[in-house]
Amino acid sequence: MSNILVNYIQNPLGWEVAVMIINRPEQLNALNLETITEMNYVLSLLSNKKNIRALIITGAGDKSFIAGADIGELKDLDVSGAYELSKEGSRVFSKLAILPFPVIAAVNGYALGGGLELALACDIRLASEQATFSLPEAALGVSPGWGGTQRLARLVGTGHAAELMYGANQINAEKGLAIGLVNSVHAPEKLLDAAIKLANRIGKNGPIAIKAIKAAMNLGIQTNLQEGLKIETGQFSVLFDTKDAKAGLNAFSNKEKYEYTGE
């Protein structure tokens, strides 16, 4: 049985929304090295598909998004093995973060440790009312190793991030919403539909423009304001050499509708 399942939702105009499912429900979808390796392969395939406008990631079953890394693989690591595991997980999550289309995490249950770190590598996080979030590594005598210390602080601020990581405590979806960890909270049976609706709304817009916005935002936030503005100017200007920009602007001026082609 594959640890990663991918379904495609076809839009009548030909573009698609991909849905990636972490498929280890008996292990609460915990991430072992095999699953990380499989995810890396799937992300490579998705990044090369020209007609994908958004990716949704969720977990199999109704209990867990991803309940962290597989503890069975962690407990016998030495320094060298821990370094390699951290480097590989960080590499794959960074690959997820720079996909050329938006990624939506549909957090349907436990998002613990590596599961929360994966959600943090996504652009947008929607949560089920039964979702819980935690980076509990300190309670195990270790620290987050797949981007948690970096992405969480950038998203919610160092105060909230420190409380979560130092205390190793869990928070529910409403608390996650209050601190800016998640964008919205939904009834469990409506979560995936909400994610698909959002993905379709995004997909109707210019895909090259979305790619430029994502690049400008994610690169700019890593630098100072002035450098970020230069990045934005560069991304903005190159769009004017695309068919979509010319046609989209003309359609707006003429009060017409234009279906973006990604050209």
* Among 26, 38, 73, 117, the one annotated catalytic: 117
* Among 38, 137, 189, 263, the one annotated catalytic: 137
DSSP string, 74-88: HTT--HHHHHHHHHH
Stated as kind and residue range, the H or E segment containing 67 is strand 64-67
Active site residue 137: yes
* Side-by-side strand order, sheet with 52-59: 4-10, 16-22, 52-59, 103-107, 124-128, 184-186
Instruction: Quote the CA–CA distance of 1 and 124 in Å, as a whole number.
Output: 29
| Contact (CB, 8 A) for 43 and 36 | no
Tokens found for residue 93: 């999550």
Sort residue 23 into left (φ over 0), alpha (ψ -120 to 50) or beta: beta
| Contact (CB, 8 A) for 125 and 119 | yes
Active site residue 26: no
Tokens found for residue 68: 């962290």
Report DSSP state, residue 9: E
Tokens found for residue 164: 């979560």
Return the active site residues.
Answer: 117, 137
